[in-house]
A and B are shown apart, each in its own frame.
Chain A
């Protein structure tokens, strides 16, 4: 058995008195694609953000590449990490957001080279070459000097993917990457994600694109009310769900 890229054990998260995650157990194998599906408010996005420690886990353990996220474990106690350490530990995972969140004051190329140059301290010249290759890979090789606002949503999201990849992450997290896009632009983003999956990238994708999940995912996880209701290969979860809640959700979505 391969080691897990992400392993969650009883992960809990509250916002004030509201419990968003009520004990999530989940394994994401290296090189696999996991799609998180479920109704809004089910905690999918929160869980994804926990993997990157953009949200603090309140209870349970969450490991990324065998490292505990956000905490250091010593003598049976968990010590909260300093912000700088947390920032370092985030480098394992690249993240793509629903609303792209490109830096609007930088050109596309500057967006991509920003973190490799200013966080990793790598030589700019070298990074620019890689960035250009990434732009070509997402099919936007000639848009390096545009500003994000001049691009369509689909193009912006592909840039956002390139920006995350520039940090050479071991894991890519996608938070509803196509939900803010016009329907005709969804395909171009999914195509980039598919090619990424084919190249062996470990991916966790929160999505409503069940077609994508069926085609690309190794594991589909249906979440509702802060718990994992059902998980397994797409043909099981999507085509032959065992739980009533999953059936009800799928019947409404399909």
Chain B
């Protein structure tokens, strides 16, 4: 009762003339006693104790073999695997986002041919298992031994080379991951574009914009706000999903760990090593996601994040 009355008094305060900024309100204001949260405090203490005891338990448990974890944490094989995982993720996501954007715009296009192509692409690549797609690209040479550009029905063609040479295991992995990701990203970006107010199209058109300019300058930057959170999800699930490429004998992070524990039987410690690296990478990626979300939230979220203060002009 007591505190609520004080809060009401404070809410009236900004209307007092001369106190435009409540934070620096002068002496005549009524002191504020913030609402207390005693249960929250107790709960926090209990949870910290539980967490500490659990951590202690794990730390002193000999069967985790922490010494093995430490000795392999910076092993060259593991580091190389982590590097490869990161490369696979970055390249596949970049290609996936770029192609996904194109597919999303095609899907929303008035042109029935473009939208049908996009629909079919998304239908196919979302509808078949990624694992199958990866193995397909890996074995492409069995289906098409030679890759060539040319006219259909046996017309003249330019041979680019043997499929086995052109599409290495790493190439197959990147193709599989990128093309699959593009289908998912297309749907995410389509949703983002759909979330932009129709009045924005009117305004941009009335200013003489059309086509790519309208998309790039007005619609996509606003769609970003809606697109980013699920894209962050996609990046993280891609990071871990790259472990699927171990079927193509590519030594990504998880596969490198598996090779080691296949020899020394230290399964759990090496999986912990791999997990620690995955955790570190997702943490870093989430950090960048946050930055990007702030960047594209500009002008949508309220006050505190204003980048530039309003200048008073003399001109």
Contact = CB atoms under 8 A, between A and B. Distances in A.
B208 interface: yes
Contacts of A146: 310
Contacts of B294: none
A125 interface: no
B206, B209, B210, B218: which has the most chain A beta carbons within 10 Å?
B206
Interface string A81-115: 00110111011011101010111111100000011
B303 interface: yes
Contact of A99 (B199, B209, B311): B199
Interface in B278-315: 296, 298-300, 302-303, 306, 308-313, 315
A60 B50 CA distance: 78
Contacts of B311: 142, 144-145
A101 B203 contact: yes
A109 to B, nearest CB: 10
Contacts of B199: 97, 99, 101
Given A90-B208, A142-B310, A145-B308, A97 B202 contact: yes
Interface residues of B, number: 32
B206 A52 contact: yes
B313 to A, nearest CB: 6
A91 B208 contact: yes
A105 B298 contact: yes
Contacts, number: 96
A102 B222 CA distance: 12
Contacts of A83: 210-211
B129 to A, nearest CB: 38
A94 B217 contact: no
A143 B197 CA distance: 24
A49 B103 CA distance: 30
Contact of B197 (A54, A87, A101): A101
A88 B203 contact: no
A93 B300 CA distance: 29
A243 interface: no
A142 B308 CA distance: 13
A114 B207 contact: yes
A186 B203 CA distance: 21
Nearest to A135: B313
A155 B315 CA distance: 20
B162 interface: no
3 nearest CB pairs, A to B:
A101-B203, A115-B207, A87-B210
10 contacts: A52-B205, A54-B202, A83-B210, A91-B208, A95-B202, A105-B299, A105-B300, A114-B217, A149-B299, A164-B206
Interface of A: 52, 54, 83-84, 86-88, 90-91, 93-95, 97, 99, 101-107, 114-115, 118-120, 132, 141-150, 160, 163-164, 167
